[in-house]
Each structure stands twice: as C-alpha cells, then as structure tokens.
Amino acid sequence: MAFISYVRQMFQPIADMSEKFNIMQSAMASAERVFGVMDTAPEVTEAPDAEAPAEMAGRVEFESVSFSYVEGKQVLRDVSFTVEPGRSVAVVGPTGAGKTSIINLLCRFYDPSSGSVKVDGTDLRRMPMASLRRNMAIVLQDAFIFSRTIEDNIRLGSPIGTESVRKAAEMVQADGFIENLPGGYSEVMAERGATLSTGQKQLICFARALAHDPKILILDEATSSVDPATEQLVQKAIETLMRGRTSIIVAHRLSTIQKADEILVLDEGRIVERGSHQELLARRGIYYNLYLLQYRNG
Ligand SMILES: Nc1ncnc2c1ncn2[C@@H]1O[C@H](COP(=O)(O)OP(=O)(O)OP(=O)(O)O)[C@@H](O)[C@H]1O
Ligand SMILES: [Mg+2]
C-alpha cells in the first residue's frame, strides 16, 4: 500500500507538469493573436500637419466620392452632396445601396478611392481624427450597450456631469423606463444590453448622442420594429436630436424622412434622385415605388 501511494505521489507532479505545458501552449497561441491585433497598421492615417479647426460649424460636403471596400467592386459611385450647418439630409435606398458606406466615409473609418469628403471645407484627410469625432455623434444600426451602469453607458467615459446625463435621458424620454429599473441610473447592464428591449437600447444611444452635444449627428436608423408606444418615443427623440444640428440620417421611418430638409435616394452606389418628400413623390420614380412598398403602411 505504502509503495503504491509513493509511486502515485511521484507521478502526480509529472502529470501536473505536462498539463502546465498545455496551458502554456494555448497562452502562446492567444498571445500571438493579441499581438497580431496590436500590430495592425490602421488603413486611415492622420496627416502629420493636420490642424484642428477652432470651432466647427458642421458643414458636410461630399465631392464626387467613389469608394470600394475591395478592389474592383465599387460601392459608391460619384456621390456629391452638401449639407449646410444645422440642416438635415435623409439617405434612403434599398438594402446594399451603400447608405452605411456613406456614413463610414464621413466618420473616416475608410478613405474614399476618389473624390473628397469635407467638413467645414477641410478635407477629412487633413483634419485630426480626434477633433472630427469629438464633434460627431454616431448612432448605428445596432445599438451597442456596454456591461456598465446606464449612466456610464450614456457618458461613455467623457467628463459629463450626472446632471447632464439625466437631462439628456429626460430629453429623449428615456428617463421613464430607466427610473423603473431596480437600480435606476446605476443599474448595471447585462452583456450587450441583453436585458433591455430594442427600443430601450435605442433610447439610451440617443441619450448618449445628446449628452455629447455634437455639431454633426449621424444616425443609421435601425430597421427592427419596436412597439407603437416606444416607436413614438423614438420618433420624438430623433426630432429632439436633430434640432440645430447638421444631421445625416439613413432613414427607414417615413416620419424621419419627411422631417429632413433633403432626401437622397441611393441605388447601387449612385444618387438617383434628390429633393423633398413631395417633389420626389410627384416624380413617380424610385422613391415613389419605395414609398408604396415600404412606408405607406408604416
Ligand atoms: N466591410 C465591408 N467589406 C466589403 N464589402 C462591404 C463591407 N461593408 C459593406 N460592403 C458591401 O458594400 C455594399 C453596400 O453596403 P452598405 O452597408 O453601405 O449598404 P446599406 O445601404 O447600408 O444597406 P442596409 O440598408 O442593409 O443597411 C454591399 O454590397 C456590401 O456587400
Ligand atoms: Mg446599412
């Protein structure tokens, strides 16, 4: 008995050692990936002599912009439009038309293949990215919620006081459901906001945008539908957000589209029609058909 138990004691550490070796190997493989990500050179780079503009007015200009993600497959072709400070543009079009791509260029996640994107007359390639993005609020198709408190989610690490956070939430009428949560503004969210409804997540993202008080508002409206009561809240919130800001909105809601100063109809990367809601309806073109199919009942 004694002999057998000694033998066991001798082999146990040896078995342990080989297990440690396994852990080491998987750690090395993970480290390789981590360093791979850290070593990735960004595709867009900041010009060394880029100068921060003093105060941004928020004039957005696309000058015959063409763009492709992969060589040979053009996503945007010769897109030109201008949005004056405080005005709004709605971009509509079928899925895959390149709406989100316009937004990606404006946020400078990518650079155009030809043509230029300008804010206040300065090419984005000659503007520091920090000052560009400080003046922008982006609400994307899929609302992203971090597993932090509601307040942290609205503040997003910026030095914004509790008062302003609450005010922003009130203005988009998100305070109603927030105050009904057990922890209120300090309620910690589940991973990716799993415990919130789609509409509630959107409202939090709107509050987030409003709290940062941007000059340029970029909104990629979610296609997912919400219940009629929340829908009304969302519509009002969008209206509040747009007030006094240059807004570029990829719109799916008829209400949002109608409020925009100009509508751009995009198809296969080209602007095929532009004008106001009434003008476009009168033309009986693509927008008219889109309206009949998608919006008349919505
Ligand atoms: N990261 C990417 N890499 C390669 N191709 C992409 C990428 N993102 C989008 N595309 C392609 O670019 C085209 C336009 O996509 P985009 O996301 O701009 O469409 P969209 O108008 O926003 O559509 P939706 O209404 O469905 O959101 C599509 O054909 C798509 O396959
Ligand atoms: Mg899109």
| pTM of structure | 0.81
Whether the predicted pLDDT of 6 surpasses 90: yes
Ligand 1 binding pocket includes 72 (Cβ within 6 Å): no
- The answer to whether 103 and 220 have CB atoms below 8 angstroms apart is yes
Sequence ranges of the domains in the chain: 56-135+257-298
**Per-residue confidence band for 236, with pLDDT thresholds at 50, 70 and 90:** confident
Q: How high is the pLDDT of residue 297? A: 59
Region 2-21: mean pLDDT is: 93
Tell me the best of 99, 102, 106 to mutate to test the pocket of ligand 1, counting ligand atoms within 8 Å of each CB and taking the most. Answer: 99
Q: How high is the pLDDT of residue 4? A: 95
Whether the predicted pLDDT of 87 surpasses 90: yes
Measured between its terminal Cα atoms, the distance across the chain in Å is 81
252 CA closest ligand 1 atom index: 25
Reference 234, options 249, 244, 212, 216; nearest CA is: 249
Nearest CA to ligand 1 atom 28: 96
Ion ligand 2 nearby residues (CB, 5 A): 100
CATH class of 56-135+257-298: alpha beta
| Mean pLDDT lowest among 70-74, 128-132, 261-265, 294-298 | 294-298
Task: Tell me the per-residue pLDDT of 152-209, one tens digit each, with 9 for 90 and over.
Answer: 999 888 888 888 888 888 888 888 888 888 888 888 888 888 888 888 888 889 899 9
Tell me the best of 65, 70, 101 to mutate to test the pocket of ligand 1, counting ligand atoms within 8 Å of each CB and taking the most. Answer: 101
Nearest CA to ligand 1 atom 17: 100
d(CA 136, CA 106): 10
Whether the predicted pLDDT of 260 surpasses 60: yes
Whether the predicted pLDDT of 67 surpasses 90: yes
DSSP sequence for the chain: -HHHHHHHHHHHHHHHHHHHHHHHHHHHHHHHHHHHHHHPPPSS---TT----SS----EEEEEEEEESSTT-EEEEEEEEEE-TT-EEEEE-STTSSHHHHHHHHTTSS--SEEEEEETTEEGGGS-HHHHHHTEEEE-SS----SSBHHHHHHTTS---HHHHHHHHHHTT-HHHHHHSTTGGGPBPPGGGTTS-HHHHHHHHHHHHHHT--SEEEEE---S---HHHHHHHHHHHHHHHTTSEEEEE---HHHHHHSSEEEEEETTEEEEEE-HHHHHHHTSHHHHHIIIIITT-
